Chains A and B, each alone.
Chain A
Amino acid sequence: MLNFPGSAALPAPQEIKHEAPKVKRKGILPPIPHLAAKKTKGMGGLVSFSATCLFLLLSSFAGSAVGSVLFSTLPKTLIVSASPKQGQVLRAGEDKMAVSWALNQSFPVGTDEAYKKVKVRLCYAPVSQADRGWRKTDDDLSKDKTCQFDVAVQAYTTTTWTSFEYELSRELPTATYFVRAYALDYDGRVVAYGQTTDDQKATNLLEVMGISGRSLSLDIAAGCFSVLSVGSLVFFFVAAKRKKTNK
């Protein structure tokens, strides 16, 4: 299955089951006598189709209310720091950066009792989200598209600092980022977070330069095929002219 880079780590949108609920004719609905057996089959198909549509419509509302976490409800209990300095431009696929996180000690003891795992992700800063709806921030974490790249997923430890050296993926586009760490509980639900930037996502941002994807062999191939196209046209024109003068 083909996946857009980074999307495998996104929480999947609520899956909707596509089963048509069986329509039973006894009970609430009175039988309709003038419908012949053949028509009933067609009617049954139509009714189950509309019932499915209704079911899907309703469940689409239901899905958004149950089971998804709102970012605004999360406490910012983790401190996250990344090695690049302000203004430093990192190159995707080449440079590395060190990311570290720890619990903010100003919170009462026992805050981190539920934390089992820490998921660290690279997130787009607002300047890279502007006019790009596919990177939009949504309070509902299952719909949020701010953080699309995995840096690390590690077990939560109560030691002061945990570090990880991250090699920038070649799939990273040119953009401005910050690092965010989510704390997950035993059920895999997000219960807390921390990030390298402030609440307005304006300070301490990282610049990454993505790879162009170009290469010399590609350039040469493009040139050759273009010459072949235009050249074959010229060839046919010349050949046609030769035929005319020979006649």
Chain B
Amino acid sequence: MENPKKPSSFQVELPASEATRFELRVDSEHKATEFRLFSFAAPHMRAFHLSWFSFFCCFVSTFAAPPLLPVIRDSLGLTTTDIGNAGIASVSGAVFARLAMGTACDLVGPRLASASLILLTTPAVYSAAIIDSASSYLLARFFTGFSIASFVSTQFWMSSMFSPPKVGLANGLAGGWGNLGGGATQLIMPLVYDLIRHTGTTSFTAWRVAFFIPGVIQTLSAIAVLALGQDMPDGNYRTLEKAGNKPKDSFHMVFYNGVTNYRGWILALTYGYCFGVELTMDNIIAEYFYDRFGVNLQTAGIIAASFGLANIGSRPGGGWLSDRMSERFGMRGRLWSLWVVQSLGGVLCIILGRMDTLTASIAVMVFFSFFVQAACGLTFGVVPFVSRRSLGLISGMTGGGGNVGAVITQLIFFKGSKYSKETGITLMGIMILCCTLPIMLIYFPQWGGMFCGPKPNATEEVYYAAEWNENEKEKGYHSASLKFAENSVSERGKRGDSSPTVPADVPTHINLPTV
């Protein structure tokens, strides 16, 4: 039986005999060290495909209503205020759900947590068949919106399955391809609606039937997660905990450590103005093009889709850019690139609201989508370094902050008839610029911030070890954090001091593997 206090070495490769159990190359934790996109090999690549596809389905369902709003608003007698309220409701449910998902993944594992959430929210999608008023429409969108909390479980699952050299790519692809759903749905729903209309169904029935398509696929994807997925390379949580292979951390300590880290709060705010803006656009863009430029339902859907579909490359691209900047300039490069890209997104948003013609609007929107989604990827280039102990909670806070941004933005600018949609979009751009400024306040003692260099004697070990108290350090609980600290020295960039310092406060009975 393995000694539970022995630190796990993340990057040591296994002897050939043990490694042949898996199709991909793995490290000593059995996390994959390679990423093969077109493979469906169990458990790693299978987990990737199951998680991004089920998350994709959740996005399709959550944003299935907006492209069909021109029909739904007359069918249910909705006013602009009703539509705005429902849009806010669709993204507000996930604010707390994302926080809870982090805890749920810790307790029961990402497979059960995500499948439970998805299967329990699918009835809200089917309820499209029976809703008949503004309030029931709002409730349906509210409960359906809970499902996009599965973002946290995708990031958690990928971090459990993939080794640090590949975890960024896996996270970025899983997150980005899931967000694709927000764009794909703008194409899928009008198409499905059109097909149903061709059978002779009247419009007020056709939209109800259309919702069954995303609903059924969502149910099937969650069943696939349950049947084919597993939490960790070696098995599911229940089996691993029984064998004593997986230690449990204290929820209170993890929570306290996470919420007292100011960087998590700043990133939650700024993520609200890249991802939150993306969610807002998913809600308003089809109606905007339909009403302002008089295009038909399908065309409005295609244009709106191109916004969300950019996620296929833009979000992973943001993550890639963050890694490239870090190679040369370290964490300061990550922070600067995040600020620059997100601010440019804000500028483009201001311009989008001022565009008066269809072609110009589409062109600006495409550029805007690239920048705002790349900013999402860049944000999650910084998040893994904020905390090692409370990574799940910080990810959940940031993710939840994204939804809060969507709620606030829709409340202020897109509810009721106070601002025309184009004015709302311009004002949203100004708000992006303002809420991106706090990135300047993020400072890591060992790496610096946007305007200040690192403190001369600060080390990564001190930063990450500080998350544990003396008791825990004596028991050696923080050893995984120390290993992470060693690996994170790369965040000093090319000009930084490259020799890792020997940690002075590790008890002698713990043996750290030599690099």
Contact = CB atoms under 8 A, between A and B. Distances in A.
Given A2-B193, A229-B122, A134 B223 contact: no
Contact of B238 (A134, A174, A240): A240
A213 B79 contact: no
**How many interface residues does chain A have, given as a range?**
35 or more
A226 B123 contact: yes
B417 interface: yes
A212 B291 contact: no
Interface in B269-313: 290-291, 293-294, 296-298
A244 interface: yes
A213 B202 contact: yes
Nearest to B225: A236
A53 B364 CA distance: 12
B12 interface: no
A40 interface: no
A232 interface: yes
A219 B129 contact: yes
Interface in B101-134: 115-116, 119-120, 122-123, 126-130, 132
A85 to B, nearest CB: 23
A210 B296 contact: no
A1 B296 contact: yes
Contact of A232 (B206, B207, B219, B297): B219
B208 A214 contact: yes
Given A213-B202, A215-B205, A218-B205, A225 B126 contact: yes
A23 interface: no
B357 A16 contact: yes
A99 B417 CA distance: 35
A171 B202 contact: yes
A236 B226 contact: yes
Nearest to B127: A222
B203 interface: yes
Contact of B70 (A4, A210, A219): A4
8 contacts: A18-B359, A131-B81, A132-B73, A215-B205, A218-B205, A225-B216, A233-B119, A233-B120
Interface of B: 70-71, 73-75, 77, 79-81, 115-116, 119-120, 122-123, 126-130, 132, 190, 193-194, 197, 202-209, 212, 215-216, 219, 222-223, 226-227, 238, 290-291, 293-294, 296-298, 356-360, 416-417, 420
Given A2-B193, A2-B297, 8 more contacts: A2-B298, A131-B80, A133-B80, A211-B202, A228-B219, A229-B120, A233-B116, A233-B222
A-B complex: 8 closest residue pairs judged by Cβ atoms: A213-B204, A173-B74, A226-B123, A222-B129, A131-B79, A222-B126, A213-B205, A218-B129
Interface of A: 1-5, 7, 12-13, 16, 18, 52-53, 56-57, 60, 93, 130-134, 170-171, 173-175, 210-215, 218-219, 221-222, 225-226, 228-230, 232-233, 236, 240, 244
